[in-house]
């Protein structure tokens, strides 16, 4: 889970990728469907054209057949009537039928003998007609129709019907001529643009052509097609072979930008075929073009919608990524933040794995590092620390920064956890930032969680409890949640269950620890401390204050103690002239409500107590909490007239500039500095704090003075006030009354 993989880690890009791939799949499907649809429409149109062309051919053939049959029938009737009627001369015959010729579209009748000599119905004489043998080669009773040929009397091309008959003992042939042109009218002129209808013989010679002038020398359709549709020779050869085998057929060929549909079938006259050639020029082409354009248009619109959708997804993605980053990512380390940690850890808790751990790691004295090295440097340190954790912890660990200097991790590890923890300690003990080496001291709390753990907050609390167990010790840096803590937790649960009731039952009592002014060795005041008297037993604040701070019950308790102290002061005021200054601890939990001080003011007003008789103690650690505006809060306290002490001074690492801007009256030097001080030397922290206090012009109290040597030491350093067992332990109100009314201590 390195930082480079952040986007994957947060699962955002996965969703994003899947959305995009769905869009691409959609687009691909639309594309394929369109492609097939165009083809389908094309086939549909082609199928239609096939049907149409067949119909056109059939109709043309029928019409042609009808026309030829009529003419044949007329020739047959004429010859039959010649046989039955006693015509004297050829001219008589002509005479009889001349009037009917036009009705049957004949141009003239010709009667010739075997030598090709004879007469025409329009009075012309024919001599040695060259093709006479062709006509006498036919059977006697059949009506023969010839292919076209040039007329002997005009420039026209003509077809000739003929039938052999006997006239006055001599074999003759009756010929009736038609202009080939007349048949062209039957064949459709220009079928849908390019193409046409042809009547051909078996060899492919064009006998009738729908639009060309019929030429004297036969033009061969196959040759012509080979020339015109040169890229489709195979199909044309197949057509030729088919016709030779008396077959019919339909096919299409593509030539340049045109498609030609071709249908051929027998005409039923001689060996003649009718061939229809149709181009897709108008109907089909136009239709396909419309379909293709509309589908392309649809495709284009689809594409546009998809592009807009992709754009939307991408910008949305960027936006949600930005929102996600702001909400879930810690900008300093690029790891997740507390919110992210809890969300992910909650998911993790639901899994069925074993050997799971949740750990919290605190960099000890990080505030001090901040003061020494500055924010930017320490941000680099945090970043680098996070990176080191990512490297050491198992790959699918969830690692986050859950607060300023506290990191959290949740992972599965089936080897020795202590070795892993030691590795972390070893590798982070000295961190190189730029050219500087920084020595880090960590506190790690470990909670091994199992299937019964489903609440991340509880699991985190347990890890933090384990961590709290070692905070401040220098000999061990990690603690694994164990039975001792489990018992403590149970104890705490018991406390939580009984705290409200205890408050109502007045089980919380105030004790006072006197404070001695060094210069006259007189009691100048006392610190009010809480005690819980439960079933005859006294519970120390250390056992419940940290818990009450977490569950915020401390807010109620502090106010309660404050009111008790006020009552005591009221009673002292009635009895004594001198009233000591009382210090009361104020938890930082109050600071979440900026107006909290109003409650305190109300109580002092209620008991008519002068507020400068009361000193509110605020721990130094509360003054360095980034989330609260401490200066503003302290100013409001000060405005009301309370005194302000900074408790446990020296442990919270407040900065000098911060101290300068805070309206404080007293600095309370923590007990640890007394314990650690080399009483013989001037070079100790208390000494420096004294110098600082003088500069800030505030009073100093040293607490935890247990021996005469310590008291003398504090005096020597110039402290103003001493508090500690050496003078007195915290005592009851009654005892304290006696204590401060004594003349000597």
The residue ranges that bind ligand C2E (CB under 6 A) are 513, 529-530, 540-542, 545, 554, 558, 561, 585, 587, 617, 647-648, 703-706, 723-725, 730
Nearest-angstrom CA–CA distance, 236 and 225: 7
Nearest-angstrom CA–CA distance, 528 and 511: 6
Q: Nearest distance from residue 731's CB to Ca ion, in Å?
A: 16
Residue (191 or 555) nearer to Ca ion, CB: 555
Q: Please, which contacts does 725-728 make with residues 24 or more away whose CB atoms are closer than 8 Å?
A: 727/514, 727/516, 728/513, 728/514
Q: What angle do CA 326, 332, 337 make, to 5 degrees?
A: 50
Residue (359 or 722) nearer to ligand C2E, CB: 722
492 binds Ca ion (CB under 5 A): no
Q: Please, which contacts does 503-511 make with residues 24 or more away whose CB atoms are closer than 8 Å?
A: 503/556, 503/557, 503/560, 507/532, 507/533, 507/534, 508/532, 508/533, 508/557, 508/560, 508/561, 509/533, 509/564, 509/732, 510/561, 510/564, 510/565, 510/568, 510/733, 511/730, 511/731, 511/732, 511/733
525 binds, among ligand C2E, Ca ion, none (CB under 5 to 8 A by kind): none
CA distances, 184 to each of 151, 194, 210, 547, 627 (Å): 17, 16, 5, 113, 103
Give the interface segment with Ca ion, choosing from 263-271, 407-415, 453-461, 647-655 (CB under 5 A): 647-655
Q: Nearest distance from residue 583's CB to ligand C2E, in Å?
A: 8
CA distances, 268 to each of 61, 68, 75, 264, 501 (Å): 8, 10, 18, 12, 119
Q: Nearest distance from residue 633's CB to ligand C2E, in Å?
A: 15
Are the CB atoms for 221 and 205 separated by under 8 Å?
Answer: yes
513 binds, among Ca ion, ligand C2E, none (CB under 5 to 8 A by kind): ligand C2E
Are the CB atoms for 665 and 615 separated by under 8 Å?
Answer: yes
620 binds Ca ion (CB under 5 A): no
Residue partners of 313: CB distance under 8 A and separation at least 6: 16, 19, 20, 23
Nearest-angstrom CA–CA distance, 593 and 545: 19
545 binds, among ligand C2E, Ca ion, none (CB under 5 to 8 A by kind): ligand C2E
724 binds, among ligand C2E, Ca ion, none (CB under 5 to 8 A by kind): ligand C2E
Q: DSSP assignment, residue 146? A: P
Nearest-angstrom CA–CA distance, 375 and 380: 9
330 binds Ca ion (CB under 5 A): no
Q: Nearest distance from residue 625's CB to ligand C2E, in Å?
A: 15
648 binds Ca ion (CB under 5 A): yes
Q: Nearest distance from residue 339's CB to Ca ion, in Å?
A: 34
Residue (529 or 664) nearer to ligand C2E, CB: 529
Ranges within 583-602 binding Ca ion (CB under 5 A): 585
Q: Nearest distance from residue 545's CB to ligand C2E, in Å?
A: 5
Residue (486 or 675) nearer to ligand C2E, CB: 675
Among 209, 362, 620, 647, binds Ca ion (CB under 5 A): 647
Residue (183 or 508) nearer to ligand C2E, CB: 508
Residue (440 or 561) nearer to ligand C2E, CB: 561
Q: What is the largest CA-CA distance in the chain?
A: 186
Are the CB atoms for 148 and 142 separated by under 8 Å?
Answer: no
Residue (240 or 670) nearer to ligand C2E, CB: 670
**H, E, C per residue of 153-191:** CCCCEEEEEEEEEEECCEEEEEEEEEEHHHHHHHCCCCC
Neighbours of 65 (CB within 10 A): 16
Query: Judged by CB under 5 A, how many residues of this single chain contact Ca ion?
Result: 4
Residue (485 or 529) nearer to ligand C2E, CB: 529
Give the interface segment with Ca ion, choosing from 236-244, 313-321, 561-569, 645-653 (CB under 5 A): 645-653
Nearest-angstrom CA–CA distance, 177 and 62: 21
84 binds, among Ca ion, ligand C2E, none (CB under 5 to 8 A by kind): none
704 binds, among ligand C2E, Ca ion, none (CB under 5 to 8 A by kind): ligand C2E
**Residue 565 C-beta-side C-alpha neighbours within 13 Å:** 33
Residue (266 or 588) nearer to ligand C2E, CB: 588
Residue (252 or 590) nearer to ligand C2E, CB: 590
Residue 631, phi then psi, degrees to nearest 5: -65, -45
Q: Nearest distance from residue 706's CB to ligand C2E, in Å?
A: 4
Neighbours of 476 (CB within 10 A): 11
Neighbours of 102 (CB within 10 A): 9
Among 205, 461, 492, 617, binds Ca ion (CB under 5 A): 617
542 binds, among Ca ion, ligand C2E, none (CB under 5 to 8 A by kind): ligand C2E
Q: Nearest distance from residue 466's CB to ligand C2E, in Å?
A: 22
Q: Nearest distance from residue 626's CB to Ca ion, in Å?
A: 23
Burial of 318 (0-12, 13-18, 19+ CB in 10 A): exposed
Residue (381 or 528) nearer to ligand C2E, CB: 528
Instruction: Supply 390's token pair.
Output: 């990512």
Residue (24 or 725) nearer to ligand C2E, CB: 725
Nearest-angstrom CA–CA distance, 187 and 206: 13
622 binds, among ligand C2E, Ca ion, none (CB under 5 to 8 A by kind): none
157 binds Ca ion (CB under 5 A): no
Q: Nearest distance from residue 672's CB to ligand C2E, in Å?
A: 11
Residue partners of 694: CB distance under 8 A and separation at least 6: none
Q: Nearest distance from residue 620's CB to Ca ion, in Å?
A: 9
Give the interface segment with Ca ion, choosing from 95-103, 303-311, 369-377, 648-656 (CB under 5 A): 648-656
Residue (206 or 526) nearer to ligand C2E, CB: 526
Instruction: Supply 687's token pair.
Output: 């000494």
Residue (576 or 725) nearer to ligand C2E, CB: 725
529 binds, among ligand C2E, Ca ion, none (CB under 5 to 8 A by kind): ligand C2E
Instruction: Give residues in contact with Ca ion (CB under 5 A).
Output: 585, 617, 647-648
């Amino acid at each position: 889970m390195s930082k480079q993989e952040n986007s994957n880690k947060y699962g955002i890009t996965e969703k994003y990728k899947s959305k995009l791939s769905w869009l691409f799949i959609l687009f691909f499907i639309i594309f394929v469907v369109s492609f097939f649809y165009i083809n389908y429409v094309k086939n549909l149109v082609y199928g239609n054209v096939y049907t149409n062309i067949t119909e056109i051919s059939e109709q043309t053939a029928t019409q042609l057949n009808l026309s030829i049959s009529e003419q044949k029938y007329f020739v047959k009737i004429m010859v039959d009537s010649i046989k039955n009627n006693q015509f004297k001369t050829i001219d008589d015959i002509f005479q009889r039928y001349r009037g009917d010729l036009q009705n049957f579209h004949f141009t003239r009748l010709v009667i010739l003998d075997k030598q090709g000599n004879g007469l025409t119905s329009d009075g012309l004489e024919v001599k040695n007609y060259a093709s006479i043998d062709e006509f006498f080669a036919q059977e006697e009773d059949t009506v023969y129709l010839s292919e076209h040929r040039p007329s002997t009397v005009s420039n026209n091309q003509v077809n000739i019907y003929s039938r052999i008959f006997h006239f006055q003992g001599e074999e003759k042939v009756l010929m009736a001529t038609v202009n080939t042109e007349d048949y062209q009218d039957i064949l459709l002129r220009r079928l849908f643009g390019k193409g046409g209808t042809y009547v051909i013989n078996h060899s492919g010679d064009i006998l009738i052509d729908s639009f060309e002038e019929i030429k004297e020398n036969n033009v061969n359709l196959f040759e012509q097609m080979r020339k015109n549709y040169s890229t489709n020779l195979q199909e044309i050869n197949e057509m030729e072979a088919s016709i030779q085998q008396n077959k019919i057929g339909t096919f299409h060929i593509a030539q340049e930008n045109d498609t030609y549909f071709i249908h051929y079938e027998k005409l039923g006259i001689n060996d003649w075929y009718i061939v229809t050639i149709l181009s897709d020029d108008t109907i089909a082409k136009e239709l396909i073009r419309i379909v293709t354009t509309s589908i392309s248009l649809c495709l284009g619109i689809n594409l546009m919608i998809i592009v807009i959708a992709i754009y939307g997804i991408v910008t949305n993605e960027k936006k949600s990524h930005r929102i996600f980053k702001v909400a879930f990512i810690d900008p300093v380390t690029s790891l997740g933040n507390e919110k992210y940690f809890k969300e992910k850890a909650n998911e993790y808790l639901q899994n069925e794995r074993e050997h799971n751990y949740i750990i919290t790691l605190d960099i000890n004295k990080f505030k001090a590092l901040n003061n020494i090295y500055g924010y930017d440097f320490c941000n680099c340190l945090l970043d680098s620390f996070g990176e080191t954790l990512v490297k050491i912890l198992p790959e699918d660990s969830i690692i986050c920064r859950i607060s300023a200097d506290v990191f959290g991790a949740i992972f599965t590890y089936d080897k020795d956890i202590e070795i892993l923890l030691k590795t972390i300690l070893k590798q982070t003990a000295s961190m190189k930032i730029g050219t500087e080496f920084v020595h880090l001291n960590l506190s790690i709390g470990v909670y091994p969680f199992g299937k019964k753990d489903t609440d991340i907050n509880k699991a985190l609390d347990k890890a933090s409890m384990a961590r709290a167990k070692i905070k401040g010790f220098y000999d061990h840096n990690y603690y694994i949640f164990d039975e001792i803590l489990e018992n403590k937790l149970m104890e705490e649960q018991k406390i939580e269950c009984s705290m409200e009731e205890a408050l109502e039952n007045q089980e919380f009592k105030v004790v006072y620890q006197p404070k001695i002014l060094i210069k006259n060795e007189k009691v100048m005041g006392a610190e009010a401390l809480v005690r819980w008297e439960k079933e005859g037993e006294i519970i120390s604040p250390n056992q419940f204050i940290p818990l009450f701070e977490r569950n915020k019950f401390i807010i109620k308790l502090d106010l309660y103690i404050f009111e008790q102290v006020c009552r005591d002061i009221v009673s002292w005021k009635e009895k004594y002239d001198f009233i000591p200054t009382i210090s009361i601890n104020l938890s930082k939990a109050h600071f979440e409500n900026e107006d909290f001080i109003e409650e305190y003011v109300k109580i002092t007003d209620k008991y008519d107590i002068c507020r400068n008789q009361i000193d509110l103690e605020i721990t130094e650690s509360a003054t360095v909490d980034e989330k609260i505006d401490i200066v503003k809060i302290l100013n409001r306290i000060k405005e009301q007239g309370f005194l302000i002490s900074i408790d446990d001074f020296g442990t919270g690492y407040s900065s000098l500039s911060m101290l300068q801007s805070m309206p404080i009256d007293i600095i309370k030097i923590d007990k640890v500095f007394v314990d650690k001080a080399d009483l013989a030397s001037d070079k100790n922290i208390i000494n420096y704090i004294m110098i600082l206090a003088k500069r800030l012009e505030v009073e100093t109290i040293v607490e935890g003075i247990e021996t005469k040597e310590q008291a003398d030491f504090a005096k020597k350093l110039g402290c103003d006030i001493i508090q500690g067992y050496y003078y007195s332990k915290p005592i009851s109100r009654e005892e304290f009354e006696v204590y401060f009314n004594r003349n000597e201590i």
